[in-house]
Structure 1
Amino acid sequence: MREFTVKHIVAIGIGAAVFFILKRFVTIPTGVPNTDIATAYPFLALLGVIYGPIVAGLAGFIGHAVGDLTTYGAWWSWIIASGFIGVFFGLLAKQIPINAGIFGKKEIIKFLVGETIANLVAWVVIAPVGDILIYAEAPSKVFTQGIVAGLTNAVVTGVIGIILLKAYAQTKTKKGSLIKESD
């Protein structure tokens, strides 16, 4: 990561707040207990690609923790998974030059592959294993929750994430796209 600035600290705070609001109030029930389709992860992907792994990791971790603490209490295995997924999304910044206004087919494919891997590792491995180790939860229950969360979050992050990243890229000026007019 480049130099860590006040802008990054502000991005963590705003990112955690937006993540909390989306995670807490803009979800769709899946029918599997305690497992919703979350709209917070496409936003976290945008934050990660723009600002990098530290900002997105902390925003995901803090936002999820605040969300849990304002409802049923901290569920650390899933909070840790949200932090991990933010870090992973941030690592995509090296592959996707979004701040240069570039988000074409090649970048979309990299994003879809990366976000799908991140969602599956976070929700099918990290969260369920954490549930078993920390809370002694039944493996069949937590792996079912994890698989549903991993698949639905991968789809939602892919669809909404592409829209967000494409829109953001269009606000940036591509290098060499401006030409000097002659008098």
Structure 2
Amino acid sequence: MEDENQIEISFTRTWNSSLNDTGMPLNVDKRFQYMAISDERQRIMPTPQDREAGLVLDYPEAVMLTNPSNPELVGEVDDKYQYSCDDKDNRVHGWICSNPAVGFWMITPSDEFRTGGPVKQDLTSHVGLTTLFMFFSTHYAGDNLTIKLRDGEPWKKVFGPVLIYLNSVSVEQDALTLWEDAKEQKTSLMLINGVQSVADY
């Protein structure tokens, strides 16, 4: 149910891990069109339909936008890998909807649980209103980072902390202030968790 005070984020079916389903049963309102990864990396994003209608380049993730819904994006190449960043910088990223002004953020106040160290790159957010939290991955590093366990070998690892943060502002306020608020939330969580900022290293 949607009204001026809420946006629907709902599960479309029950998740069953035994089915090895690659698609998540989550439906998120598609009005989010502005993505922010850092102060320097923010933009209006193409839609999944813009990508589908575009020209696939040398690999399927890279698509030239030939007839996007936003004419300012014509000729641009969209590729989920262009939104990657170093783990040390991957503290907050997500999406802004301007009407109503709502933000959807993935906040990770610490990266000490991640494999590969602080300068390993990984994925963040990308087209399709995708916002990722990568527990561990081989992106940009290869199989050396794959967890390899022998039969019956016990293994335990704690991932996190992680926060999915939703915020909003009134229609009179600039929707981009949602990014500033998400960064403040990240800083608060870093202080609570005793994490120094990258600038302190």
TM-score range, shorter chain: 0.3 to 0.5
Q: Which has the higher contact order (CA 8 A, sep 6+)?
A: 1
The normalised TM-score by structure 2 is 0.32
> Which structure's residues are more often helix, by fraction?
1
Q: Which has the larger radius of gyration?
A: 2
